[in-house]
Amino acid sequence: MTQVFKLSRRSFLAGTAAAGGLSLGLALPGAAQDASDSTPELNAWVVINPDNTVVVRVAKIEMGQGTLTGLAQLVTEELECDWDNVTWSYPTPGENVARDRVWGSFGTFGSQGIRTSQQMVREGGAAARAMLLQAAANRWGVDAGDVTVAKGVITGPDGATLTYGDVATEAAALEVPTEVTLKDPSEWTVAGTSVLRLDTADKLDGSRKFAIDLTQPGMMLGAVKQTPVLGGKLVSYDADAVMDMPGVQKVMQIGEDTVVVVADTWWRAKTALDALPIEWDLGENATFGMDDLDAMLDEGLTASDAFVGNEAGDVQEALSGAAQVVEAVYHYPSQHHATMEPMNAMALVTDDRCDVWVATQNAETDLAVAAETAGLEIPQCDIHRINLGGGFGRRASASDYTVIAVKVAMEMKGTPVKVIWSREEDSTHGAYHPTTKARMRGALDADGNLTGMHIRISGQSIFAGLMPFALEDGMDPLTFQGLQAESTEGEFGYTVPNLLVDHAMRNPPLRPGFWRGVNNNQNAFYLECFMDELADAAGKDPLEFRRGLMQDHPLHLAVLEKVAEGIGWDTPAPEGRYRGLCQHMGYGSYVAAAAEVSVDDRGNLTIHKIVAATDPGHVVNPQQIEAQIEGSFAYGLSAGLLSQVTIEEGQVQEENFDTYPIVSMWEMPEVESHLIPSGGFWGGVGEPTIFVATPAVMNAVYRATGKRIRELPLNKHDLTPA
Amino acid sequence: MQTLTVNGNNLEVDAEPDTPLLWVLREQLGLTGTKYGCGVAACGACTVHIDGMPVRSCQVQLQDVRPEETITTIEGLSPDLSHPIQQAWLELDVPQCGYCQSGQIMAAAAFLKDYPDPTDEDIKAGMTNLCRCGTYNRIKAGIKRAAELS
Ligand code: FES
Ligand code: FES
């Protein structure tokens, strides 16, 4: 079935051709850089060069997740150009503003890269194809319905051919169609296939410039040091002590809590900063430690007030009338993003202009922040988007790097300044995965049926710490990710007649942020490990127990059945190996995992294999989704097995990878991925599978050792057999 | 002034003698393919070859590099992506963000010389560079593919 979509005028540019008749609606400056005489812009998404190369404009940013390639595939599919001729470019947020946000949101987070822009880019491709075919038909004096196209070569009724490049200029002068017909995904030939990424080659020879690598003539480098305790302030520093050190240009205070040394190289700036005598007033959080955090979260587990995220029936009645009540307390610690490229940004400020070169997941926010910081109007500023050396939500959580780079550059007008965080400063000034505990209580009847469940979450809210304006009457709805009723984003996958999910918000002095998977990580860990506890208490097989609760959730169940089949749940595991499984829904996709592990007599865990299944509705590039599944497992298992951020005397203790270990080649399991798109919706793929790796492994660890791992990471626990 | 031999060129360097080679390469010589990840020998993003041996360049001070030693960075591994590791990486779409990959490729190229026909266990033990994007399984497959291509 094909779908017909009405194009809104907003989706496209006004149909009046700009001077020269080569491009559409380019009345505003800044938009014309790809629309010179030789490069006709068919619409905001598509530019076709006379040599037939097709430039796909990409609004989302690439940080390794493959969105750039996926979006280009979708455009190519509808445009029917030759994939081998496709290349890409990034519009800037300034151009987006100038063109009435023709590209929609640049925000690249929440596993939205494909799903929130697929419609626009497919329409863009289809509209451009229609215009190109019309232009060829006009040239030949035939009806557009009588011309065909394959791989960018248009064929007329008499067999004559023209390429897209031949007619691009004429096409750009035509009216934008008001209606286009999109292909049904079953007809796709480029989208839906495992083409290689468009952005690999320059990652292999050092030629790719990350933001940290950029240089400009006259550039200076800044090293930054911020208050070691959240809320602390700078009292004084002795610039004279370092001004004579090699290369040092300037020592400056930025805001109330930051010192920056600027030098001609970053190493010299950092060396001087390390030698700089600094006095801090660490403020009221300077005594806060892990004992305080524990007490704070424990108190919330039984507090009388809590925000309700999901409620059905009467859970108290179910608990008091139960044949058996199962209770357990779980804990998920803080985590740092630890992007491999440390935070950095370069800014150049003059009296009437501010430009920033930065790796960001949300360049429009950086633009607003840069303009505000510089005291300029938005048209006087722009953000030059550079592909990220890892994002994972850190570069969507706070624009601190942009603010500080602009402030430093304001002190040195006319000089481009690149500010780089050392790994230690990056690690101790993160936007951390929120830390919570959960008190789980389940009511079983005499037949082992789950009649009620209370999930009390106690702990940190991202919205409260990062964007309080998003709270709803004080409640952070994001806390309940994956535990909500009837949500297309992340729905609770079980039917429990009496259910209460509530949140006692307790915020420790650590800046929270969106960390790949976000609140689904702990929610899936709590729920799916507890489900295994309930199954055991009910005397049932974990899969069978879940199945009984999932009859009204067929898509949740389908991925779970898939991994059970993949791991061979119905057949015994090989000698000495043990299995666990779980499922969860988030970012619009259904995901499940089954792990097979062994634990040796010294307590060492080996994860032999994890089978993953995902139903994201539609699949644009299978091999890239598989890469995301593997990557999400490495990221999720880092938190599950190895890493945590702790705080003592108000200060983050883990400064570098030696104390914040992450999964390496050594721990990485084999991953078997099953993609089972069921159609009808568009879910994300960058994050969802991260939720399920850890609970599947911990459930398997219990089978192997008899130890319930309710506190992460696993390396806090001794798995040595008694 | 000190002279370094980098990617076959003799280059004059003006930096403090205790400057890490990583920052000399990046800031004095403009060879930014070699990456800063941790500065404490924990991640491998800064891996280069000195006389063919893989070295974490954040741990080598400029004054420790002897004049006769030859340094190879990612920019000098091959002139045209023709090294088997680069070929295999292209074929299998190994990189995600790419930030760690210069170091991974340099480490893998050195590893492959020692283990021309590596097992999974060899690779697990020998490849210790970190990748936050989690490309490990493709790195493993890439090394095996490169062994075939060599
Ligand atoms: S930067 Fe040298 S090992 Fe990490
Ligand atoms: S590819 Fe991103 S850190 Fe390795």
DSSP-assigned letters across all residues of A196-214: PPSS-GGGSSS----GGG-
Does the structure show a pLDDT above 50 at A431? Answer: yes
Is the same domain home to B95 and B43? Answer: no
> Of B44, B77, B110, which residue constitutes the final position of a domain?
B77
> Of B77, B98, B132, which residue constitutes the final position of a domain?
B77
Nearest to B105 among A204, A634, A664 (CB): A204
Q: Which residues, at least 6 apart from A474, have a Cβ–Cβ distance to it below 8 Å?
A: A307, A505
Whether the Cβ atoms of residue A387 and residue A359 lie closer than 8 Å to each other:
yes
Please state the pTM of the whole predicted model.
Answer: 0.95
Nearest to B136 among A206, A266, A634 (CB): A634
Q: Rounded CA gap, A398 and A419, in Å?
A: 16
Write out the two tokens for A282: 């660490």
Residue contact B27–A265, C-beta within 8 A = yes
Q: Rounded CA gap, B40 and A699, in Å?
A: 35
Quote the DSSP letter at residue A92: P
In degrees rounded to 5, what are phi and psi of residue A447?
Answer: -95, 10
Atom of ligand 1 nearest to the CA of B38: 4
Is the same domain home to B98 and B66? Answer: no
* CATH number where B69 lies: 3.10.20.30
Instruction: Please tell me the predicted confidence (pLDDT) of residue B139.
Output: 98
> Of B25, B47, B77, which residue constitutes the final position of a domain?
B77
Ligand 2, atom 4: nearest CA belongs to which residue? Answer: B131
Give B42's contacts in chain A (Cβ within 8 Å). 656-658
Whether the Cβ atoms of residue A699 and residue A626 lie closer than 8 Å to each other:
no
Is the same domain home to B88 and B129? Answer: yes
How is domain A3-202 classified at the CATH fold level?
A: Aldehyde Oxidoreductase; domain 4 (3.30.365)
Write out the two tokens for A628: 């995301």
Is the same domain home to B32 and B52? Answer: yes
Instruction: Please tell me the predicted confidence (pLDDT) of residue A202.
Output: 97
> What ligand has the least distance to the C-alpha of A392?
2
Q: Which amino acids bring their CB within 6 angstroms of ligand 1?
A: B 36-39, 41-46, 56, 58
- CA A466 from chain center: how many Å? 16
Does the structure show a pLDDT above 60 at A58? Answer: yes
Q: Rounded CA gap, A326 and A538, in Å?
A: 10
**Amino acid identity of A128?**
A
Best B97, B137, B138 residue to mutate vs chain A (most A CBs within 10 Å): B97
Instruction: Please tell me the predicted confidence (pLDDT) of residue A178.
Output: 85
What string of DSSP letters covers A619-684?
-S-HHHHHHHHHHHHHHHHIIIII--B-EETTEE---STTTS----TTTPPEEEEEE---SSS---
Is the same domain home to B68 and B88? Answer: no
> What ligand has the least distance to the C-alpha of B35?
1
**Smallest CA–CA distance from B33 into chain A, residue:** A206
Region A280-295: mean pLDDT is: 98
Strands A307-312 vs A41-43: parallel, antiparallel or unpaired: unpaired
Give A66's contacts in chain B (Cβ within 8 Å). 96
Is the same domain home to B10 and B28? Answer: yes
Which H or E run includes A365? helix A363-374
Ligand 2 center–CA B130 separation, angstroms? 8
Taking each helix axis from N to C end, the angle separating A520-537 and A690-705, rounded to the nearest 10 degrees, works out to 30
A307: left (phi over 0), alpha (psi -120 to 50) or beta: beta
Domain A290-335+432-716 indexed as CATH 3.40.309.10 = no
Is the same domain home to B22 and B69? Answer: yes
Is the same domain home to B44 and B16? Answer: yes
Taking each helix axis from N to C end, the angle separating A542-549 and A520-537, rounded to the nearest 10 degrees, works out to 110
Residue contact A630–B135, C-beta within 8 A = yes
Residue contact A665–B127, C-beta within 8 A = yes
Write out the two tokens for A452: 């009620």
**Smallest CA–CA distance from A666 into chain B, residue:** B124
Is the same domain home to B53 and B22? Answer: yes
Residue contact A668–B86, C-beta within 8 A = no
Q: Rounded CA gap, A717 and A711, in Å?
A: 9
For chain B, the domain total comes to 2
- Could you tell me where in chain A the CATH 3.30.365.10 domains are found? 3-202, 211-283+343-420, 290-335+432-716
Instruction: Please tell me the predicted confidence (pLDDT) of residue A72.
Output: 96
Is the same domain home to B120 and B66? Answer: no
Instruction: Please tell me the predicted confidence (pLDDT) of residue B3.
Output: 93
Which H or E run includes A126? helix A118-140
Q: Which of B4, B29, B26, B5 is nearest to B103 (CA)?
A: B26
* Residue numbers of the domain that contains B142: 84-149
Q: Rounded CA gap, A606 and A194, in Å?
A: 31
Numbers of helices and strands, H then E, in chain B? 5, 5
Q: What is the percent of chain A with per-residue pLDDT over 90, rounded to a whole number?
A: 92
Give B133's contacts in chain A (Cβ within 8 Å). 64, 340, 390, 631, 634-635
Ligand 2 center–CA A389 separation, angstroms? 7
Ligand 1 center–CA B69 separation, angstroms? 21
Residue contact B96–A215, C-beta within 8 A = no
Whether the Cβ atoms of residue A652 and residue A591 lie closer than 8 Å to each other:
no
Q: Which amino acids bring their CB within 6 angstroms of ligand 2?
A: A 64, 340, 390; B 95-101, 131-133, 135
Q: Rounded CA gap, B5 and A705, in Å?
A: 55
Region A158-165: mean pLDDT is: 96
Q: Could you read off the pLDDT of A512-534 as tens digits, one per residue?
A: 999 999 999 999 999 999 999 99
**Smallest CA–CA distance from A343 into chain B, residue:** B37
Q: Could you read off the pLDDT of B72-123 as tens digits, one per residue?
A: 999 999 999 999 999 999 999 999 999 999 999 999 999 999 999 999 999 9
> What ligand has the least distance to the C-alpha of B23?
1
Give A339's contacts in chain B (Cβ within 8 Å). 99, 132
Write out the two tokens for B41: 């020998």
Q: Rounded CA gap, A389 and A338, in Å?
A: 10
Residue contact B38–A657, C-beta within 8 A = yes
Q: Which of B36, B40, B17, B38 is nearest to B26 (CA)?
A: B36
Q: What number of C-beta contacts closer than 8 Å exist between A and B?
A: 178
Nearest to B93 among A200, A208, A662 (CB): A200
Instruction: Please tell me the predicted confidence (pLDDT) of residue A722.
Output: 80
- Between CA A215 and CA A221, with CA A216 as vertex, the angle to 5 degrees is 65
From the CA of A67, how many Å to the nearest CA of chain B?
11
Domain A211-283+343-420 indexed as CATH 3.30.1330.20 = no
Whether the Cβ atoms of residue A492 and residue A483 lie closer than 8 Å to each other:
yes
Is the same domain home to B9 and B69? Answer: yes
Q: How far apart are the first and last CA of chain A?
A: 61
Q: What ipTM is given for this predicted complex?
A: 0.98
Residue contact B34–A65, C-beta within 8 A = no
Is the same domain home to B51 and B104? Answer: no
Q: Could you read off the pLDDT of A594-651 as tens digits, one per residue?
A: 999 999 999 999 999 999 999 999 999 999 999 999 999 999 999 999 999 999 999 9
